[in-house]
A = this chain, B = another copy of it.
Amino acid sequence: MTAPVSTVLIRGTGLLGTSIGLGLRARGTTVLLHDPSPSAQAVAQDIGAGRAYPVDAAGVLIHDDGPSPEVVIVAAPPDVTGQVVVDSLRRFPAAVVMDIASVKVQIAADVAEAVSEGTITAQDAARYVGTHPMAGRERSGPVAARGALFTAAPWVVCPNEHTAPEAVESAEQLARALGATVYRMGAEEHDASVALISHLPQIAASLVASRLQETPAGSLALAGNGLRDTTRIAASDPQLWVQILSANAPQIVEILYGVREDLNRLIGTMEQPTAPGSRLDIAQLIAEGNAGQARIPGKHGAPPQAFAVVTVLVDDTPGQIAAVLADVGEAGVNVEDLRMDHSAGYEVGMLEISVVPGHKQELTDALTARGWKVV
């Protein structure tokens, strides 16, 4: 593997910065790290994400005679990203500076403001590229980092009319080297997109999960995959999400107005469930949900496809799932998706294997012939 770039500086060693460091080092890049938190930086170094960039006694980056970074990756918290980008453009006059914050308009505005204030020049600003790797986990911090975090993930690159083409090229090459798929779009389009596909689901999950705080345990024992799926991302980090939601507030609030309108209509209907037209209102909400849900693309960005599901009963003992899937593999059928169906109070599970519809019967026969209980 050829290194996409010989030396990078990563400013910020949280989950994403550290993961980028691990991924680039594995590809032969020299990675320098800096984080204002010495402990976060120490963890990132310890797990092999790179070595420390030299700082003075006050913690300010200093030049030494080591290699100068060709690319500076700003992986700071969203709040301070703009400021660290501007500082990096000023401090490293030959480097491409890319950030990876999950909201893009504000950072670009911070850079433009620094130009108009004379902190940096327009030529400096041309070396800035806003990007957003759409990868993350419910967990955070360098301990959760992994070099393959970006494998198969979308990585949005948002150049504007001032961005130098070579800078865009560097950023995209780096994203591709880490295994990501590059999508290019404007900062406004990006922010509107993530408001809908990322920030709204986070808010909805938090609103639902928040209602469970006082629920009796006896009620929660009945919870199924519906509740689990809708609230999984409610486990996310409040400090990070405050910054993301604040930075994209104008885009999000427009969407929330629409949600509130639907919610108010639903509440009005549910207050008088026997009034004429009330059932139509409820049916319409669910039907609109059907229509929206059907538009979400499937695996690998393919159009949504109705896979056929073959469900196999498995004991909750080691090797059972493996044994089923070994037999699936021998049958020569590709597994498109997998799901364990959990339920409370029972030591047996249902393994749902999604396959292309044409292979369903073949797989069912093959598994039944091998003694599996296909249901």
Is A94 engaged at the interface, CB distance under 8 Å to the other chain? no
Is B207 touching A295 in the complex (CB atoms < 8 A)? no
Measured between beta carbons, the chain B residues less than 8 angstroms from A322 are: 322, 325-330, 335
Is B207 touching A289 in the complex (CB atoms < 8 A)? yes
CA separation between A319 and B322, bound complex, in Å?
Answer: 11
A189-B218, A233-B230, A301-B344 known; A292 vs B197 contact (CB < 8 Å):
no
Is A80 engaged at the interface, CB distance under 8 Å to the other chain? no
Q: Which of the four size classes fits the interface of chain A?
A: 35 or more
Measured between beta carbons, the chain B residues less than 8 angstroms from A242 are: 279, 282-283, 286
A226-B198, A375-B151 known; A218 vs B236 contact (CB < 8 Å):
no
Is A227 touching B290 in the complex (CB atoms < 8 A)? no
Distance (whole angstroms) from the CB of A235 to the closest CB of chain B = 5
Chain A, 139-164, CB within 8 A of any chain B CB: 146-149, 151-154, 156
Measured between beta carbons, the chain B residues less than 8 angstroms from A334 are: 316-318
CA separation between A205 and B346, bound complex, in Å?
Answer: 27
Measured between beta carbons, the chain B residues less than 8 angstroms from A339 are: 338-339
Distance (whole angstroms) from the CB of A261 to the closest CB of chain B = 10
CA separation between A230 and B224, bound complex, in Å?
Answer: 14
CA separation between A226 and B218, bound complex, in Å?
Answer: 27
CA separation between A183 and B256, bound complex, in Å?
Answer: 38
Distance (whole angstroms) from the CB of A103 to the closest CB of chain B = 11
CA separation between A329 and B341, bound complex, in Å?
Answer: 19
Total copies of this chain within the assembly: 2
Is B211 touching A200 in the complex (CB atoms < 8 A)? yes
Measured between beta carbons, the chain B residues less than 8 angstroms from A347 are: 300
Measured between beta carbons, the chain B residues less than 8 angstroms from A196 are: 211-212, 215, 219
Measured between beta carbons, the chain B residues less than 8 angstroms from A209 are: 288-293
Measured between beta carbons, the chain B residues less than 8 angstroms from A325 are: 321-322, 325-326
Is A270 engaged at the interface, CB distance under 8 Å to the other chain? yes
- Please encode chain A, from 207 to 238, with 1 for each CB lying within 8 Å of some chain B CB and 0 for all others: 11111110111111111101111111111111
Is B245 touching A291 in the complex (CB atoms < 8 A)? no
Q: Contacts A151-B375, A230-B232, A236-B290 known; list 8 others, CB within 8 Å.
A: A147-B375, A193-B216, A196-B219, A208-B289, A213-B291, A238-B284, A245-B282, A318-B334
The contact sample of 29 A-B pairs, CB cut-off 8 A, is: A149-B375, A151-B375, A152-B341, A152-B343, A153-B346, A183-B222, A197-B212, A197-B224, A201-B227, A201-B229, A203-B285, A209-B290, A209-B293, A213-B291, A217-B295, A227-B296, A228-B296, A230-B232, A234-B293, A237-B286, A238-B282, A238-B287, A239-B283, A242-B283, A249-B273, A260-B260, A260-B263, A319-B332, A326-B326
